């Protein structure tokens, strides 16, 4: 893979990562609620899900998935339902009753395994990610050269960029913690992020199989 091709993908990866989506919302939500250090565990889960999507797209499974209306619908419904579930869970989450209490407490913060799983499922069950990767990856792969090394380079690049951007979102949100310790502020935070997750999840029901590029 030449430098020009890699740099083009790097720029595309930056645009993909920066554009607000379910991963960005989750990173901001956990960064605000639990701090950057704990949000990093969630972001690690997001990257595991992203790697799965990259493998699916790179292996050609994504093309088969997009070719089947039933399979694509199942993934779409599962992904949308999961994000709506996360949104409702956060929307109705209980808040601390004492203004002086810290936001991040042992009782309010999910376990690391739970945060990793949440991040993983958020990206892995996103049909828009599969559609996009199936459409984008082939443009940066030279069919005359070994595919696996090229996919590895693209995967490492994408994960590095996405990890950096998601941490940026988490740091930005975490900087607001000092103003979010009052129960009313926490309740507003839960309502806002919960509502956005529900809207993002609901939008997945309208993702069309035809939006992909035929390979």
Nearest CA-CA partner of 43 in 65, 27, 25, 21: 27
Average pLDDT over residues 27-35: 89
* pLDDT, tens digit (0-9, with 9 covering 90-100), for 191-213: 877 787 788 778 777 766 554 43
The pTM of this model reads 0.74
Average pLDDT over residues 104-108: 48
Residue 7 lies in a domain: no
* pLDDT, tens digit (0-9, with 9 covering 90-100), for 137-149: 777 877 778 878 8
d(CA 40, CA 109): 13
- Min mean pLDDT across 77-81, 88-92, 176-180 is at 176-180
* pLDDT, tens digit (0-9, with 9 covering 90-100), for 160-200: 999 999 999 999 888 877 665 656 766 777 787 778 778 87
Residue 5 lies in a domain: no
Range of the domain at 76: 22-210
Is pLDDT above 60 for 122? yes
Number of domains in the chain: 1
Most confident segment among 45-54, 71-80, 124-133, 187-196: 45-54
Q: How much of the chain exceeds pLDDT 70, in percent?
A: 80
pLDDT of residue 103: 42
Residue 1 lies in a domain: no
Residue 4 lies in a domain: no
Residue 11 lies in a domain: no
Structure tokens at 117: 């799983």
Residue 8 lies in a domain: no
Structure tokens at 179: 């103003």
Residue 10 lies in a domain: no
Residue 16 lies in a domain: no
Is pLDDT above 60 for 215? no
The alpha carbon dihedral of 13, 58, 209, 26 has a sign of: negative
pLDDT of residue 65: 63
d(CA 35, CA 108): 12
User: How is 80-143 classified by DSSP, letter by letter?
Assistant: HHHHHHHHHHHHT----S-TTS-S--TTTSPPHHHHHHHHHHHHHT-HHHHHHHHHHGGGG--T
Is pLDDT above 50 for 214? no
């Amino acid at each position: 893979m030449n430098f020009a091709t890699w740099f083009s993908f790097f720029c595309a990866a930056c645009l993909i990562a920066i554009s607000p989506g379910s991963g960005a919302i989750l990173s901001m939500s956990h960064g605000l609620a639990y701090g950057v250090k704990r949000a990093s565990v969630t972001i690690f889960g997001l990257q595991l899900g992203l790697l799965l999507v990259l493998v699916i797209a790179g292996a050609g499974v994504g093309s088969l998935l997009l070719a089947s209306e039933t399979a694509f619908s199942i993934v779409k419904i599962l992904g949308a339902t999961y994000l709506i579930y996360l949104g409702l869970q956060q929307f109705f989450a209980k808040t601390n009753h004492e203004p002086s209490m810290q936001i991040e407490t042992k009782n309010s913060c999910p376990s690391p395994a739970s945060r990793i799983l949440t991040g993983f499922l958020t990206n892995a069950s996103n049909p828009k990610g599969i559609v996009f990767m199936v459409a984008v990856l082939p443009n940066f792969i030279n069919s005359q050269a070994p595919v696996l090394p090229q996919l590895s380079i693209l995967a490492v690049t994408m994960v590095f960029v996405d990890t950096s951007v998601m941490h940026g979102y988490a740091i930005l949100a975490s900087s607001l913690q000092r103003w979010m310790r009052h129960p009313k502020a926490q309740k507003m935070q839960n309502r806002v992020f919960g509502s956005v997750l529900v809207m993002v999840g609901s939008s997945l029901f309208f993702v069309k199989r035809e939006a992909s590029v035929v390979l």
